[in-house]
């Protein structure tokens, strides 16, 4: 029987490491660049046009011990091929509702931390590798690095009985469009960003707000300037326990400093951040990054992306006993593929350019490429 499978259902399968077979009917280049991956996900790529004359040859390649999901860019091609598979006698065939577009946009909310002062949720954008956060304290909520899907955060705040009062962006994002400005306009919340990142719209400059007052409990949000990925990158230290590190430090690597065309200069800034400011933080500080590269490697047993700083230090050779010259040489040599459309995305995030919803979807398609993975 033919059925649609939602992006949320796929996310649960991936997160829970369940078995799934995916027949991806996009062209080979798109498949090689970006795909749904997971520990128990099997993949087969056969372009749609190669199946128009019949699917009989592929039926024998489909396993019988797991569900089969057909995937394409926007749904239509995968639904057609799935129908053909059902007609050829194959049971339990699904197609991805909305295609890879919906996979790119799905946010999976998980709780990552709670004490008497604060509760923290992580929003995992599995199709993009982006992470955002909501901190709830009393009746107020603070959102860190929001994606452009503002309604998701509004709904989460409503469910928690809170109001979004503060929004922070750790840096000017280059691989996805920030929802910070839009969310602030919709909620009336204060929006914070480093002035040095070059945004041209109104916001609260973090240069003037090293501490953010939050509710009436003892919650300290300390903006720690951590340049390297960008000159204005900031990490947020909450009560000396949680470090929202943006794209400065990841569970499996460091932020790439080459997107501004000044890789050696920015790599020196990154060195000073790693061996200066971050070196002063305790090993038991929990690092909550802005991106991840491999869910299987970076999803911890508690079900979220994050790790203690001491563990990250132990597993990352660039954070241990490196001279600045060696560090800069390593980082400069480790440059990887530039995020597609990053110049246009940066212009939009600065407020220099505007785009409609359809164009934003096009700009964001594909994986994140903001990290030096893996540096161990």
Catalytic residue chosen out of the listed positions 22, 51, 72, 150: 72
Beta pairing partners, 222: 211, 237
Pairing of strands 140-144, 204-205: unpaired
Beta pairing partners, 130: 125, 291
Decide if 11 contacts 20 (C-beta within 8 A): no
Query: From the centroid of its chain, how far is CA 11?
Result: 14
User: What is the rounded CA–CA span in Å between residue 68 and residue 62?
Assistant: 7
User: What is the rounded CA–CA span in Å between residue 142 and residue 57?
Assistant: 53
72 is catalytic: yes
Decide if 201 contacts 229 (C-beta within 8 A): no
User: What is the rounded CA–CA span in Å between residue 184 and residue 328?
Assistant: 38
Torsion angle of C-alpha atoms 239, 241, 242, 248, degrees rounded to 10: 110
Burial 82-102 (b: 16+ CB within 10 A, else e): bebbbeeebeebbbbbbbbbb
CA distances from 352 to 181, 229, 346 (A): 13, 21, 9
Structure tokens at 72: 């394409």
3-state secondary structure 275-296: HHHHHHCCCCCEEEECECCCHH
Residues designated as active site: 72
């Amino acid at each position: 029987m033919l059925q649609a499978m939602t992006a949320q259902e796929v996310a649960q399968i991936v997160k829970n490491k369940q078995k799934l077979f995916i027949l991806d009917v996009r062209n080979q280049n798109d498949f090689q660049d970006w795909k749904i991956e997971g520990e128990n996900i099997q993949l087969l790529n056969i372009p749609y046009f190669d199946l128009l004359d019949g699917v009989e040859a592929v039926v024998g390649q489909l396993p019988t011990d797991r569900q089969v999901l057909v995937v394409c860019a926007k749904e239509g091609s995968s639904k057609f091929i799935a129908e053909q598979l059902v007609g050829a006698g194959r049971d339990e065939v699904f197609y991805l509702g909305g295609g890879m577009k919906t996979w790119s946009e799905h946010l999976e909310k998980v709780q990552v931390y709670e004490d008497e002062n604060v509760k923290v949720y992580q929003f995992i954008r599995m199709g993009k590798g982006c992470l955002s956060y909501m901190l709830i304290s009393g009746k107020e909520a603070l959102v860190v690095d929001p994606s452009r899907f503002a309604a998701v955060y509004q709904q989460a705040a409503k469910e928690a009985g809170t109001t979004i009062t503060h929004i922070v962006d750790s840096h000017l994002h280059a691989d996805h469009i920030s929802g910070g400005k839009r969310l602030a306009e919709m909620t009336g919340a204060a929006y914070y960003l480093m002035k040095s990142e070059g945004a041209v719209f109104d916001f609260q400059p973090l240069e003037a707000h090293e501490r953010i007052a939050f509710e009436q409990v003892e919650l300290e949000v300390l903006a720690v300037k951590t340049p390297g990925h960008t000159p204005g990158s900031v990490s947020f230290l909450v009560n000396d326990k949680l470090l929202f590190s943006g794209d400065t430090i990841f569970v499996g690597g460091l932020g790439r400093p080459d997107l501004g065309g000044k890789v050696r200069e920015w790599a020196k800034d990154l060195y000073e951040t790693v061996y200066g400011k971050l070196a002063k933080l305790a090993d038991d500080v929990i690092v909550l990054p802005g991106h991840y590269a491999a869910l299987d490697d970076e999803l911890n047993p508690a079900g979220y992306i994050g790790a203690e700083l001491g563990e990250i230090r132990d597993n990352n050779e660039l954070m241990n006993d490196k001279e600045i010259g060696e560090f800069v040489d390593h980082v400069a040599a480790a440059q990887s593929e530039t995020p597609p459309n990053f110049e246009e995305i940066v212009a939009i995030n600065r407020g220099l350019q505007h785009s409609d919803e359809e164009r934003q979807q096009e700009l964001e398609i594909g994986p994140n490429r903001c990290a030096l993975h893996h540096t161990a």
